[in-house]
């Protein structure tokens, strides 16, 4: 039972390069989230999705785009990476907005040089 799987686990990018982080869940969850974690800043919501084909902005959406073409996948894109996007990225999913826990992936450590 895989749960929430993030790909890749580590990546180093040069400033200006683009990349896509993939999150896949096998729990048939409706809601999916992308967070970034920086020292002393906790977990900040980037974008989220409440169902296939729908996405919404979170607290820190600038510089990122997302897509949810399939229910089980949630993609996070960086079109032109900047050093300020160096962070650990976590994907999470849950069954509904109330009364259920969020399941997290293992994280992607991204460094932009």
Partner 1 sequence: GQQVMQIPQYQHVQEGEDFTTYCNSSTTLSNIQWYKQRPGGHPVFLIQLVKSGEVKKQKRLTFQFGEAKKNSSLHITATQTTDVGTYFCAGRPISTGAGSYQLTFGKGTKLSVIP
Instruction: Report, in Å, the least distance between residue 99 CB and partner 1.
Output: 6
Residues that bind partner 1 (CB under 8 A): 31, 33, 35, 40-45, 48, 50, 56, 58-59, 90, 92, 94, 97-99, 101-107
b/e map 34-43, b = 16+ CB within 10 Å? bbbeeeeeeb
What single-letter DSSP state applies at residue 84? Answer: G
Task: Give whichever of 51 and 83 is closer to partner 1, judged by the CB atom.
Answer: 51
Furthest-apart CA atoms within the chain: distance in Å: 41
Instruction: Report, in Å, the least distance between residue 73 CB and partner 1.
Output: 18
């Amino acid at each position: 039972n895989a749960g929430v799987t993030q790909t890749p686990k580590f990546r180093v990018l040069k400033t200006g390069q683009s990349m896509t982080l993939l999150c896949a869940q096998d729990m048939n969850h409706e809601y999916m989230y992308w967070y970034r974690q920086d020292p002393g800043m906790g977990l900040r919501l980037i974008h989220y999705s409440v169902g296939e084909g729908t996405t919404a902005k979170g607290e820190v959406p600038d510089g990122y785009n997302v897509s949810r073409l399939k229910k089980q996948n949630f993609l996070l894109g960086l079109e032109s990476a900047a050093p300020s996007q160096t962070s650990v990225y976590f994907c999470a999913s849950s069954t509904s907005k109330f009364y259920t826990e969020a399941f997290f992936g293992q994280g992607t450590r991204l460094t932009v040089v």
